[in-house]
């Protein structure tokens, strides 16, 4: 079964008026945890992310807490390498818990849902600040209208372009539709 089918079947695709982690508003929300609450789906996502990197030399997989913990681990298992994650401290993604990157590491960055790419850019900065190299970026779903490119091999398991607006330009706000704020990462 494809990722889009899994998302639809699991109830991960939601319709309404949502505030995204980026602060933008949208009429569609992807609740990744409807997928990630099923270990067999997490394994399947790991397989697909690893498969998207065939032929790319990867020494370590890096994701962002919280959803990235599961998918970085599953992807690392499929690649036979280590999976680590960054987490927010004072609003900024950082490596903690003794995780480290070395200059020689070729890093695969995995992300769940990309709307603006902000979290991936933070992860790219972490890799660069440690002198390591980003081998590729793979995301579960790319919500951007044009598709996103992070300046390296960039792949999405699912393209799910969805319209989003700055809050002051949101037509759903103008229609006085109730706003739902789902999971937040501490940005």
Computed over every residue of the chain, the mean pLDDT equals 90
The model's pLDDT over 64-97, given as tens digits with 9 standing for 90+, comes to: 998 889 999 999 999 999 999 999 999 899 999 9
pLDDT of residue 11: 87
Query: Does 118 score more than 80 pLDDT?
Result: yes
- Report d(CA 68, CA 155) in Å as an integer: 16
Classified as helix, coil or strand, 3 is: helix
- What is the secondary structure of 75-123 as a DSSP string? HHHHHTSEEEEEEEETTEEEE-TT----TT-EEEEEEEEESS-HHHHHH
Query: Does 137 score more than 70 pLDDT?
Result: yes
Minimum mean pLDDT among 19-33, 49-63, 71-85, 97-111: which range? 19-33
**Which CATH architecture best describes the domain 3-181?**
3-Layer(aba) Sandwich (3.40)
pLDDT of residue 184: 54
pLDDT: which is higher, 143 or 138: 138
């Amino acid at each position: 079964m494809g990722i889009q089918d899994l998302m639809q079947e699991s109830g991960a695709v939601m319709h309404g008026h949502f505030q995204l982690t980026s602060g933008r508003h949208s009429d569609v929300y992807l609740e990744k945890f409807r997928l990630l609450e099923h270990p067999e789906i997490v394994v399947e996502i790991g397989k697909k992310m690893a498969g998207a990197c065939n032929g790319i030399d990867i020494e370590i997989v890096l994701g962002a807490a919280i959803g990235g913990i599961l998918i970085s681990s599953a992807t690392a298992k499929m690649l036979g390498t280590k999976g680590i994650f960054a987490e927010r401290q004072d609003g900024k993604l950082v490596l903690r818990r003794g995780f480290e990157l070395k200059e020689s590491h070729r890093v695969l960055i995995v992300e769940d849902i990309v709307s603006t790419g902000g979290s991936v850019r933070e992860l790219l900065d972490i890799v660069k600040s440690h002198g390591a190299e980003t081998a590729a970026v793979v995301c579960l779903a790319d919500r951007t209208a044009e598709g996103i490119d992070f300046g390296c091999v960039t792949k999405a398991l699912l393209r799910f372009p969805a319209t989003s607006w700055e809050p002051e330009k949101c037509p759903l706000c103008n229609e006085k539709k109730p706003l739902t704020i789902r999971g937040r990462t501490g940005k």
